[in-house]
């Protein structure tokens, strides 16, 4: 009796598909090795073709493989080191001196150490009030701590009842009283036309701003600068910013606020020469630094806006030099300003202003010399101005401001490690260790992309066959 065996057609078909898939994978694997061998034989990396050459001995392949792996590792280390150096964003500072055919004369702001004239304050009966708010000595300030503030408030009208800005301006020394003679570039100038009033922390000051004369200077020296004869008027001293009798002089760029704390002092009975030298500064913004590269931004103005807002919110008024639209503080309100000003500084509230430094700036470096007025000059001035010798020695100052040199100093900050240098270093490491170029990287990328596409297409074909 003959036995027959049933054959499952489905199992045979599945077995054939499995064998076909294995065969396709092996063929694809062989095909990939062939493509890799062909790629390594043509890519522009020295020695890579020896690692996959059928004619090369196994020992030679091992040596070349070790050398290439060493080159890759050392190149990776070099690239990582160069990238770390680049992302440090180091800078270098370049200082150079530039000889200028012409220079623009700086802005000059002058303040009398005396903020209010004694005669004007006494005429309005406010001398005691002024001495309470602005005491001449620290001991007086401590003594008046427990003063009845209701009395002080009753003696002065509030800032909403009267315009204290006009009152302070009337009390301040005038241009006519302070400037007795003005000469600019060898020609007489008119103080009333060539100076303007400006508000600072020292009260109402005056600033050199000629209307008709050109501010451009072509020669250094006293004869090409500004010469002033100033009168301190010591007999009118009442509200002073220091124990001295003097004028505070600040030489600055016209776009900068006059912060008179950094000004120079010129004392009576002397000739004071202020030689000026221009210095330009340029710094880098982020990521190299934290400066603001807006050409209209000014750090001092940013702080002043922040401080003015702080005072206005807490005291309900502002002082004359502050920004904003609030009314000017009365002497009584000024006590609040003084208190909050100290809190603003001592409690580090100013750090909340977030005023970054500016990227561009112009400074005027000054060199000051002075000497006493000679006897001959004093006799001539006594005859010319019809005043006594004591008045001149106690009040008059001869002030000269001029460019000491037409050479300016430029301080420029530059990137210490540029992108081009980074590419050069990376390319140098790649070329030195592997003998390749940047085009070699594109060859590798091109091969990798094509292989990825081939792999995706192959996987897609396998999956489709699996569903069939």
Tell me the three state secondary structure of residue 275. strand
Nearest residue to 54 (alpha-carbon basis) of 40, 66, 68: 40
434-442 CB contacts, 8 Å cutoff, 24+ apart: 434/45, 434/46, 434/47, 434/68, 434/71, 434/72, 434/75, 435/44, 435/45, 435/46, 435/47, 436/44, 436/45, 436/46, 437/44, 439/44, 440/43, 440/44, 440/45
Q: Distance between CA 135 and CA 128 in Å, rounded? A: 10
Please, what are the domains in the chain?
A: 9-86+419-467 (no CATH), 95-414 (2.60.470.10)
Report the pLDDT averaged over residues 164-186.
Answer: 91
HSE, side-chain direction, 13 A CA sphere, residue 256:
21
Q: Which residue has the tokens 């027959």?
A: 4
Lowest mean pLDDT among 139-148, 176-185, 455-464: 139-148
Contact, 200 vs 258, CB < 8 A? yes
Q: How many CB atoms lie within 10 A of CB 87?
A: 11
The three-state secondary structure class of 104 is strand
| Separation between Cα atoms, residue 383 and residue 381, nearest integer Å | 5
Confidence of residue 386 (pLDDT cuts 50, 70, 90): confident
Considering only residues 39 and 258, tell me which one the structure prediction assigns the higher pLDDT: 258
Span 73-130, pLDDT tens digits: 887 888 888 888 889 999 999 999 999 999 999 999 999 999 999 998 888 887 877 7
Token pair in block for residue 147:
């003063």
Per 3-state DSSP, what percentage of the chain is helix, strand, and coil (rounded to 5)? 50, 20, 30
Least confident among 300-314, 420-434, 449-463 = 449-463
pLDDT band at 400 (very low <50, low <70, confident <90, very high): very high
Say yes or no to pLDDT of 282 above 90.
yes
* pLDDT score at 333: 85
**What share of the chain has pLDDT > 90, as a percent?**
42
Identify the residue whose tokens are 């489709």: 464
| 134-138, 210-214, 354-358, 380-384: least confidently modelled range | 134-138
Query: Which of 29-33, 339-343, 349-353 has the least mean pLDDT?
Result: 29-33
Q: pLDDT digits over 214-261, tens only?
A: 889 999 999 999 999 999 999 999 877 778 899 999 999 999 999 998
Instruction: Kindly report the average pLDDT of the chain as a whole number.
Output: 81
pLDDT value of position 51: 64
Which backbone phi and psi does 186 adopt, to 5 degrees? 85, 0
Report pLDDT for 250: 96
pLDDT of amino acid 12: 45
- Residue 198 contacts residue 205 (beta carbons within 8 Å): yes
Give the model's pLDDT for residue 16: 47
Provide mean pLDDT across the span 39-49: 62
Write out the two tokens for 285. 């913004």
Alpha-carbon gap, residue 343 to 245, rounded angstroms: 30
Does residue 161 have a cis bond before it (omega within 30 degrees)?
no
How far apart are alpha carbons 132 and 145 in whole angstroms?
9
Residue 336 confidence (pLDDT): 87
Mean pLDDT of 363-382: 90
- More confident site: 376 or 108: 108
Residue 271 DSSP SS3: strand
329 three-class SS: coil
Does pLDDT of 465 surpass 70?
no
Q: What is the mean pLDDT of residues 28-54?
A: 62
Mean pLDDT for 19-46 is: 57
DSSP secondary structure letters along 147-198: S-HHHHHHHS--TTTS-HHHHHHHHSPPHHHHEEEEEETTEE--HHHHEEEE
Report which of 446, 451, 436 is spatially closest to residue 72, judged by C-alpha positions.
436
Choose the most confident range, by mean pLDDT, from 14-28, 43-57, 436-450: 436-450
Q: Is the pLDDT of residue 407 over 70?
A: yes
Give the torsion through C-alpha atoms of 235, 236, 241, 247, to 10 deg: -70
Q: Over the stretch 260-277, which tens digit does the pLDDT of each residue have?
A: 988 999 999 999 999 999
User: Between vectors from CA 383 to CA 377 and to CA 389, what angle results, nearest 5°?
Assistant: 65
What's the pLDDT at 263?
92
**Closest of 239, 260, 198 to residue 114, by C-alpha:** 239
pLDDT of residue 5 exceeding 60, the answer is: no
Query: Which range among 19-23, 91-95, 133-137, 157-161 has the greatest average pLDDT?
Result: 91-95
When mean pLDDT is compared across 56-70, 223-237, 385-399, the lowest value belongs to 56-70
pLDDT higher than threshold 70 for residue 174: yes
């Amino acid at each position: 009796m003959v036995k027959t065996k049933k054959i499952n057609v489905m199992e045979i078909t599945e077995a054939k598909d499995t064998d076909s898939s294995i065969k396709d994978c092996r063929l694809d694997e062989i095909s990939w090795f062939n493509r890799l061998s062909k790629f390594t034989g043509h890519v522009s990396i020295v020695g890579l073709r020896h690692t996959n050459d059928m004619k090369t001995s196994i020992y030679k392949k091992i040596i070349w493989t070790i050398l290439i792996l060493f080159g890759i590792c050392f190149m990776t280390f070099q690239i990582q080191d160069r990238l770390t150096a680049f992302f440090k964003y180091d800078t270098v500072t370049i200082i150079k001196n530039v000889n200028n055919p012409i220079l623009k004369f700086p802005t000059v702001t002058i303040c009398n150490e005396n903020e209010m004239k004694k005669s004007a304050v006494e005429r309005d009966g406010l001398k005691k009030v002024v001495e309470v708010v602005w005491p001449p000595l620290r001991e007086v300030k401590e003594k008046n701590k427990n003063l009845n503030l209701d009395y002080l408030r009753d003696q002065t009208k509030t800032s909403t009842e009267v315009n204290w800005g006009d009152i302070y301006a009337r009390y301040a020394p005038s241009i006519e009283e302070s400037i007795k003679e003005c000469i600019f570039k060898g020609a007489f100038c008119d103080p009333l036309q060539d100076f303007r009033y400006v508000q600072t922390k020292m009260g109402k000051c005056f600033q050199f701003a000629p209307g008709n004369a050109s501010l451009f200077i072509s020669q250094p020296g006293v004869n090409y600068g500004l010469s002033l004869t100033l009168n301190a008027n010591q007999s009118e001293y009442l509200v002073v910013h220091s124990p001295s009798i003097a004028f505070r002089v600040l030489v600055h760029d016209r776009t900068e606020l006059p912060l008179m704390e950094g000004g120079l002092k010129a004392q009576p009975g002397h000739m004071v020469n202020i030689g000026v030298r221009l210095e330009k500064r340029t710094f880098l913004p982020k990521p190299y630094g934290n400066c603001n590269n807006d050409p209209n931004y000014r750090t001092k103005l940013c702080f002043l806006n922040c401080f003015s807002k702080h005072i206005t919110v807490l005291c309900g008024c502002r002082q004359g030099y502050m920004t904003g639209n609030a009314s000017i503080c009365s002497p009584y309100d000024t006590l609040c300003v003084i208190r909050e000003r100290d809190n603003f500084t001592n409690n580090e509230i100013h750090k909340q202003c977030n005023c970054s430094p500016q990227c561009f700036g112009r400074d005027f470096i000054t060199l000051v010399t002075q000497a006493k007025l000679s006897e001959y000059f004093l006799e001539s001035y006594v005859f010319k101005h019809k005043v006594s010798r004591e008045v001149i020695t106690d009040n008059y100052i001869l002030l000269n401001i001029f460019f000491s040199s037409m050479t300016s100093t430029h301080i420029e900050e530059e990137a210490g490690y540029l992108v081009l240098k980074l590419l050069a270093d990376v390319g140098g490491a790649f070329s030195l260790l592997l003998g390749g170029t940047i085009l070699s990287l594109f060859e590798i990328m091109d091969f990798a992309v094509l292989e990825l596409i081939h792999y995706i297409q192959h996987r897609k074909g396998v999956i489709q066959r699996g569903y069939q």
